Amino acid sequence: MKTLSGKEVVEAIETRLAGGVGWLKEQGVNPSLAVILVGDNPESHSYVKGKLVRAEKLGIHSQDHFLPAETTQEELEALVARLNEDPATHGILCQLPLPKGLDEPRITRLINPAKDVDCFHPYNFGLLAQGEHHLAPCTPAGIMEMLKHYQVPVSGKNVVVIGRSNIVGRPMSLLLSHKGVDATVTVCHSRTPDIAEHTRRADVLIVGIGRPEWIKADMVAEKAVVIDVGVNRVDDPSRPRGYRLAGDVAFDEVSARAAAITPVPGGVGPLTVIMLMRNTLLAAADQNSLKFPEHMDI
């Protein structure tokens, strides 16, 4: 069994992106990402911190807009409108979920599609569905990079995606079914009867349902490749923080059966962040009518 390391893939991509940042700056463009975080959800804070640290490391300018949980819809919309208009801001990300009372779909639709580095806007999602997208959603795009890096074949294979969220499952199924990728995709979700019947037929199994260690060895085909998108906090008094992180897959037992598997943490997570950086560079270039030279492979 092989462990698929997100870190290894990130290192390969990071070198190329660093070249892209340098090139943009030579053209007089200082790529800049605005990150909006409302409230004090600790997991969201931890994700956002990871994004800001990575941006700084790559030389991408970042703006953190940390707002209190009591922020009104009008205040949040005013901030998005201001960032939409600011030519020095190339990417806008509003960390989800938003606190209760704020209208998430409305905010998602308000972000200028050219600056929508999450690819959550219905315009970008529509382009993705048509296979005409410029920006791809970060987690599914990161998984595609992972599969490519480790030369996991998907063309003509059965790929089973568990979860139909707009952030992971649904866009993942779109990317995989595009012409040229050519996977046969099955999407399972909480109302699928007998999920195991599907998962056992998967050459590649991608799981993002948010249930800790839910996929057990007997649900996985011998020699399958398993991609675990789940990040769950599980109480563990023996840890200094009182919890540990667990994926949606029971790692120990499934790794004994699978050909390859991603760990949690250290698997898909770092790829989501590096794809966000990539989208920021693509958005910055596009907004300045620039095209990265082919050889840079951004």
Q: Is residue 27 annotated as a catalytic residue, yes or no?
A: no
Please state the closest distance from residue 223 (CB atom) to ligand GUN, in A.
30
In which residue are the tokens 């996985």 written? Answer: 220
Cα separation of 280 and 55, whole Å?
10
Cα separation of 274 and 268, whole Å?
10
In which element (H, E) is residue 138 found? helix 138-149
CB 29 within 8 A of CB 290: yes
Q: Is residue 95 annotated as a catalytic residue, yes or no?
A: yes
**SS3 state at 275:** helix
**Closer residue to ligand GUN, CB minimum distance, 139 or 232:** 139
Question: Mind spelling out the 3-state secondary structure of 43-54?
Answer: HHHHHHHHHHHH
Instruction: By CB under 6 A, name the binding residues for ligand GUN.
Output: 93-96, 118, 138-139, 167, 272
Which of these is catalytic: 95, 115, 116, 228? Answer: 95
**SS3 state at 32:** strand
**Closer residue to ligand GUN, CB minimum distance, 95 or 255:** 95
> Apex CA 267: angle with CA 262 and CA 269, to 5°?
140
**Closer residue to ligand GUN, CB minimum distance, 138 or 254:** 138
Which of these is catalytic: 115, 116, 118, 248? Answer: 118
Please state the closest distance from residue 137 (CB atom) to ligand GUN, in A.
7
End-to-end CA distance of the chain: 31
**Closer residue to ligand GUN, CB minimum distance, 33 or 260:** 33
Please state the closest distance from residue 118 (CB atom) to ligand GUN, in A.
5
Please state the closest distance from residue 250 (CB atom) to ligand GUN, in A.
23
Q: Is residue 236 annotated as a catalytic residue, yes or no?
A: no
- Looking at the annotation, which residues are catalytic? 51, 95, 118
